[in-house]
Amino acid sequence: MLTSEQHRCSNEKRNFSAEFKRESAQLVVDQKYTVADAAKAMDVGLSTMTRWVKQLRDERQGKTPKASPITPEQIEIRELRKKLQRIEMENEILKKATALLMSDSLNSSR
């Protein structure tokens, strides 16, 4: 039978919520934990914690994250960008439909 440590070292990928990542990284950024101490306290790998800390610092500086955002502001920005893209696409469809209807009505009135 595997111990919890052996089980954790298997290739099983763990998924963490944005909130968990943010709170973990805040230990280093806001509460002055070392990356190693925060990683141990939150039971995550050192490289994982390092990545989350870098991402939190980048997001706080206004940089758009390559990975899924973890700060509420970056999450909102991502959602607003998706919404804007959808609305712009709908607007283009409406413009094309209006142009098509106008040309049809001009052709039928001749």
pLDDT tens digits, 12-42: 788 999 999 999 999 999 999 999 999 999 9
State the residue range of the domain holding 89.
15-108
Inside any domain, residue 8: no
Inside any domain, residue 53: yes
Q: Is the pLDDT of residue 54 over 90?
A: yes
Inside any domain, residue 96: yes
Number of domains in the chain: 1
Give the single-character DSSP code of 10.
Answer: S
Q: Is the pLDDT of residue 90 over 60?
A: yes
Side-chain half-sphere exposure of 48, counting CA atoms within 13 A: 17
| CA quadruple 38, 40, 46, 52: dihedral sign | negative
